[in-house]
Amino acid sequence: MLRIENLHATVADNPILNGVSLHVPAGEVHAIMGPNGSGKSTLAYVLAGRPGYEVSEGGATFDGANLLALEPHERAAAGLFLGFQYPVEIPGVSMLQFLRESLNAQRRARGEAELSGAEFIRLARAQASELGMDVEMLKRPVNVGFSGGEKKRAEMVQMGIMAPRLAILDETDSGLDIDALKSVGAGINRIMRAPDKSVLLITHYQRLLDYVQPDRVHVLSRGRIVRSGGAELAHELEREGYAEAAV
């Protein structure tokens, strides 16, 4: 589903990614772990098309199509979802309205019929209920006044509504207590565990992987994948740190 080949990228003319190669087949969850500054978030932003992140060499395909040739909204319509480490607040914009406009924009781009207001509310209620979130919170401005855990739950609700085929989750576990961690892990499994979907899960720690069992774990260091293995690799990293893995 996602194939990255020798990807090099710069930010403000500073090289960050130095030849990342990675294949995430359909139906699999792959975790990327690594120290601060290793390029994990840069990889996520490059794949999502964030401005200011320049690809200097290599490429990435999504279902065989050139991902990097698409505009960010085209990548989203194709089924790519980016979960942020720090979800942003958007004062004055209702979360429900934001999500409905986003979903219908993607449906239009795919040639699908838009959801009516009533259809969307039913979908939003169902997704919020699955995450243990009061749908009344979705009437508030986007993430405004939300705790860290509430922001991540809201992001999982958004992912459930958008129903992406590829989710790139950038440190979704950041700032979560144990209950929120369980809830978010369950949300990822419920929404994305399917033969035609894949997840690239970026994290510092093994704890989220107790709830979202990865098929493969990769260590990113100095802008390159330096080691890959099964789920047991995450436990090794937790015990021994990244220095040994990068040797």
> Distance (Å, rounded) from C-alpha 75 to C-alpha 241?
34
- 35: tokens are 């120290």
**pLDDT score for 232:** 92
Long-range contacts of 174-177 (CB under 8 A, 24+ apart): 174/85, 174/86, 174/148, 174/204, 175/148, 175/149, 176/148, 176/149, 176/152, 177/149
Residue of 110 and 175 predicted with greater confidence: 110
Q: Decide if pLDDT at 246 tops 70.
A: no
Residue 81 backbone phi and psi in degrees, to 5: -125, 130
**pLDDT score for 245:** 59
Q: Decide if pLDDT at 95 tops 90.
A: yes
Within the chain, where are the H helices? Answer: 40-48, 72-77, 95-109, 117-130, 148-162, 178-192, 232-240, 242-245
Segment 71-93, tens digit of pLDDT = 999 999 999 999 988 888 999 99
Q: Decide if pLDDT at 8 tops 90.
A: yes
> Distance (Å, rounded) from C-alpha 39 to C-alpha 222?
7
**pLDDT score for 178:** 85
Q: Decide if pLDDT at 27 tops 60.
A: yes
Q: Global pTM?
A: 0.92
Q: Decide if pLDDT at 171 tops 90.
A: no
Mean pLDDT of the chain: 92
CATH of the domain spanning 2-92+165-245, picked from 3.40.50.12780, 3.40.50.300, 3.40.720.10, 3.40.50.2020: 3.40.50.300
Task: Please report which confidence band the pLDDT of residue 170 belongs to, taking 50, 70 and 90 as the band edges.
Answer: very high
**pLDDT score for 60:** 97
